[in-house]
């Protein structure tokens, strides 16, 4: 950087003008600036309306993982990523899993949690009880925000309330349990939490700060299992090695983090 990163009115400019400024400020070469101009197949006008200060786009290779059989049906799985060997490894694992019927997948349903944080509550335990007494009213207020979701079988289904001890004193946390259907659900859940916040304040006598979705989706779990033929994956020694590797990860968080990273890359 040869100049300040404070760029007044940068967001108002065209993508081309932003690139010109970036070239000057960041001392980019002509070739580097041209590289920025690509949008990875996304129309420039679309990219420029999706996020702020757009100067270009970025492309991931899209590969197809083969051999998958899931719940008795065959699938070809698209995978967009940049690390070599992941698509090949997934395809190979699926091929080995087919010997015993492939993968069995289950899910717990599309349930997300919206949290409403209440502070300065005079009597937290009493407030908790009062919120539960008004559960039906709170759920109705939440569901009134998204009649379409409700008509499709989703919506706020339950209310959980807990009292937390924190470094800022006790807090009452009201949690909307929301079936979000096929959507990730952030917009729907956040809108519901915003809508019920005034009611929560009135009921508890406290003050609401956060009213927002939780991304710890522990009620929205997908589980996949498969049985592998011992000889297909390399015999007894390979099986022992896999079990020992699992035991290592189960006992040590540093190993576990890397195991989980591998799982996430293939998901």
pLDDT (tens, 9 = 90+) of the chain, 267 residues, equals 556 889 999 999 999 999 999 999 999 999 999 988 888 888 999 999 999 999 999 888 999 999 999 999 999 999 998 889 999 999 999 999 999 999 999 999 999 999 999 999 999 999 999 999 999 999 999 999 999 999 999 999 999 999 999 999 999 999 999 999 999 999 999 999 999 999 999 999 999 999 999 999 999 999 999 999 999 999 999 999 999 999 999 999 999 999 888 777 665
Return residue ranges of the chain for CATH 3.30.70.420.
Answer: 111-214
Q: Give this prediction's pTM.
A: 0.81
Q: Which residues contact 159 (CB under 8 A, 6 or more apart)?
A: 131, 132, 135, 138, 139, 174, 175, 176, 177
Top-level class of domain 111-214: alpha beta
Q: Which of 21, 20, 12, 61 is CA-nearest to residue 41?
A: 61
Distances (CA, A) of 9 to 56, 57, 189: 18, 21, 33
Distances (CA, A) of 120 to 74, 100, 123: 56, 58, 9
Give 171-182 pLDDT, tens digit per residue.
999 999 999 999
CA angle, 169 as apex, 164 and 175 as ends, to 5°? 30
Give 59-82 pLDDT, tens digit per residue.
889 999 999 999 999 999 999 988
Q: Which of 79, 72, 78 is CA-nearest to residue 104?
A: 72
């Amino acid at each position: 950087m040869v100049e300040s990163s404070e760029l007044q009115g940068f967001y108002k400019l065209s993508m081309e003008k932003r690139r010109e400024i970036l070239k000057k400020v960041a001392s980019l070469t002509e070739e580097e600036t041209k590289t920025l101009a690509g949008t990875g197949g996304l129309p420039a006008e679309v990219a420029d309306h999706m996020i702020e200060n757009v100067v270009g786009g970025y492309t991931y290779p899209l590969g197809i993982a083969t051999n998958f059989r899931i719940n008795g049906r065959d699938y070809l799985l698209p995978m967009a990523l940049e690390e070599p060997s992941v698509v090949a490894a997934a395809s190979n694992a699926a091929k080995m899993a087919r010997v015993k019927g492939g993968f069995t997948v289950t899910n717990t349903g599309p349930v997300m949690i919206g949290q409403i944080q209440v502070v300065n509550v005079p009597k937290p335990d009493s407030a908790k009880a009062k919120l539960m007494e008004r559960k039906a009213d709170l759920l109705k207020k939440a569901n009134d925000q998204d009649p379409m979701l409700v008509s499709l079988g989703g919506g706020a289904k339950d209310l959980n309330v807990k009292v937390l001890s924190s470094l800022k004193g006790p807090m009452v946390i009201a949690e909307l349990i929301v079936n979000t259907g096929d959507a990730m659900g952030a917009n729907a859940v956040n809108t519901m939490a915003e809508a019920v916040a005034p009611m929560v304040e009135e009921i508890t006598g406290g003050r609401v700060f956060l009213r927002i979705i939780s991304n710890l989706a522990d009620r929205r779990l997908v589980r996949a299992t498969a049985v592998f033929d011992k000889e297909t994956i390399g015999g007894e020694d390979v099986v022992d090695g896999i079990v020992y590797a699992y035991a290592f990860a189960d006992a040590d968080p540093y190993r576990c983090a890397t195991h989980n990273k591998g799982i996430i890359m293939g998901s």
